[in-house]
Amino acid sequence: MQNKQIVLASASPRRKELLELMGLTFQIIPSTKEEVITGGCPAEIVENLSYQKAEDVASQMASEDVLVIGSDTIVVCDEEVMGKPHSEEEAFDMLRRLQGRSHEVYTGVTVICRENDRITHDTFSKKAIVTVHSMSDEEIRTYLAKGESMDKAGAYGIQGSFAVFVDEIQGEYNTVLGLPIAGLYQSLKRFL
C-alpha cells in the first residue's frame, strides 16, 4: 500500500503502535504548535485540532513530498469538553464525573498530502460512547496513583489498568485509543 514518506505528527505511543499495526513505515515529528480550539461541536473541534497538527508538521517539510497524519482526541461529558488534566485533583474530579455513566470520545484525523508542490488533505472524525462502571473514591485514587492519567483526555487510558472499569464501548475501540485506523485506512487509500 505504501509508496510515500509518511510522518505522524504526534508523540503518542498509542498512535505509533496503531500505525505499526497497519504495517506502515513512518517517522514521528510531533507538532509543537499551540493548539487553538475552534469549532462549535466536538467533531469540529477535533477535526480542526487534527488539521492544525498535521499542517504544522507539513509546513516544516515544505520542500518534500510527504504524507502527514495529525490526530486529536477529546472526551465529552454533559456536553463539556474534557482535555488533559492539569493536576491530580482535576484528574480525580474528571474521573468522578465519568464513573457510573456513559460519555463520548471524539477523535479527529487529518491526512495532508504534499506531492509535486500540490497539497491536498482529508479530515474526518469518529465518535465512540464509553460506559464506565461505578468507582469508589478509593478506586479512583488507586488508579490515579498508577500515573496513567495526566497525559490523557478525560484522565484515563483505556488500554491501561483503567480497562477494568470500562463496561461497554459503542464504536471503534481505536477511536478511544486516539486513532481510528479503519477510517484512517480508507483515507490513506486516496493518497497512497
Residue-range domain boundaries for the chain: 6-188
Cell 464506565 appears where? 132
Active site residue 72: yes
What pLDDT does 109 receive? Answer: 98
Q: In the chain, which residue ranges form alpha helices assigned H by DSSP?
A: 13-21, 42-60, 88-98, 137-145, 173-177, 181-188
Sign of the CA dihedral with 172 first, then 173, 176, and 177 last: negative
Q: Which residues have CB under 8 Å from 120's CB, separation 6+?
A: 112, 113, 191
Catalytic residue among 72, 122, 151, 167: 72
Grid coordinates given for 57: 508538521
pLDDT at residue 64 in the model: 78
Q: How far apart are CA 184 and CA 182, in angstroms?
A: 5
Percentage of the residues of the chain whose pLDDT score is greater than 90: 86
Of residues 91 and 33, more confidently modeled: 91
pLDDT of 36: 83
Q: Answer whether 70's CB lies under 8 Å from 83's CB.
A: no
Residues above pLDDT 70, as percent of the chain: 99
CATH top class, domain 6-188: alpha beta
Asked whether 95 and 136 are in contact (CB, 8 A), the reply is no
Least trusted range by pLDDT, from 49-53, 66-70, 149-153: 149-153
pLDDT band at 2 (very low <50, low <70, confident <90, very high): low
pTM of the model: 0.94
